[in-house]
Amino acid sequence: DIVMTQSPDSLTVSLGERATINCKSSQSILYTSNNKNYLGWYQQKPGQPPKLLIYWASTRESGVPDRFSGSGSGTDFTLTISSLQAEDVAVYYCQQYYSTPYTFGQGTNLEIK
Amino acid sequence: EVQLVESGGGLVQPGGSLRLSCAASGFTFSSYSMNWVRQAPGKGLEWLSYISSSSSTIYYADSVKGRITISRDNAKNSLYLQMNSLRADDTAVYYCARDPYDSTGYRYFQYWGQGTLVTVSS
């Protein structure tokens, strides 16, 4: 199984500041034939289901604000929120869909300072 | 608007069985592959199972293989999860989630239901 490890587990950032969440996979999730990284990012607010933010490591889902961006390749990935808003308080998960079982990181709890 | 509505959760004794349902609307259900994902209280997300649009391809996580069965009825726009031999550590919110396409590689979860809570306790 591919193990997804996020860092940090929790993060406190001031409003308007940048938030950075890291995700590392135990093996490469870059499919060389199409040069795509099989990595998604989700946001989960309390009492709600997860919401897809980013897929293919860097493609923003429709309707997601452009302050959210994804980067990285191979085994190391990053979700960046360029200017933190109050509504961004949530738990963030990365997920690999390169191979079954499709695995998630343990989550990063993002709070406002 | 895509809607996924889970039902069938509740309190069940250890060793018992439960069948979860996910009613889909707002899209052509028969054209999309589907998944079940669960989340134990206060914990992270765990993918459980995948089924292709025609039910021809099915995958399970090892943690639940042999105890769960995924199925779908395209005529009823419904996805199901039959769970047997339930244990306390199966206590979780169970979500159905839709893939963006029924195509190899497109296994991120574009739409999610609100979830149904399964509690396994005596």
Per residue in B5-15, pLDDT (tens digit) is 999 999 999 99
Per residue in A31-82, pLDDT (tens digit) is 999 999 999 999 999 999 999 999 999 999 999 999 999 999 999 999 999 9
Q: In chain B, whose CA is at the least distance from the CA of A36?
A: B105
Q: Contact B34/B51 with Cβ under 8 angstroms?
A: yes
Selected residue of B1, B43, B45 to mutate for chain A interface (largest A Cβ count, 10 A): B45
B47 in contact with A at a CB cutoff of 8 Å?
yes
- Average pLDDT of every residue of chain A: 97
**pLDDT band, residue A92 (cuts 50/70/90):** very high
Q: Residue B54 has which token pair?
A: 């025609």
Structural element, H or E, at residue B50: strand B45-51
Strands, E, within chain A: which ranges?
4-7, 10-13, 19-25, 30-31, 36-37, 39-44, 51-55, 59-60, 68-73, 76-81, 90-96, 103-104, 108-112
Spell out the SS3 assignment of A40-69.
EEEEECCCCCCEEEEECCCEECCCCCCCEE
Query: What's residue B65's pLDDT?
Result: 93
Query: What's residue B62's pLDDT?
Result: 96
B101 in contact with A at a CB cutoff of 8 Å?
no
Per residue in B40-74, pLDDT (tens digit) is 999 999 999 999 999 999 999 999 999 999 999 99
Distance CA A28, CA A13 (A): 30
Burial of A101 (0-12, 13-18, 19+ CB in 10 A): buried
Per residue in B19-46, pLDDT (tens digit) is 999 999 999 999 999 999 999 999 999 9
Write out chain B residues lying below 8 Å of A36, CB-based. Answer: 105
Query: What's residue A87's pLDDT?
Result: 97
B115 in contact with A at a CB cutoff of 8 Å?
yes
